Amino acid sequence: MKLKTEQVLKNLDGENMKEGENRILTIGMVLSGALVSPGEKKLNPIEAMDRYGLAMDLRAKKEVELSSEQIVMCKEAVCQTFSPLISGQVCIMLK
């Protein structure tokens, strides 16, 4: 699946979500943050490198090709890290 990383997340009123005062929150920012956040599961070195590499791509590129395994990894990471307002939108975007 091709994911456009600059898709903007919305608040409950349909307005662009922001991080701080001015920075608009995109799916690339959210996923890259979730992938590098410590989760409940201990990662082996290969998993850690895979997550780090994907997080860097999500920050640097406007579009990223995701495998089905990467989609599952992203959904799990974002659901462990963020509230349903954010994780729900991300999971819908990752269908």
Number of domains within the chain? 1
**What is the tens place of the pLDDT at every residue in 16-46?**
999 888 789 999 999 999 999 877 778 899 9
**What is the tens place of the pLDDT at every residue in 70-79?**
999 999 999 9
d(CA 50, CA 22): 31
Whole domain around residue 75: which residue ranges? 2-93
What does the block give as tokens for 30? 């959210």
Q: Which residue has the tokens 């990471």?
A: 77
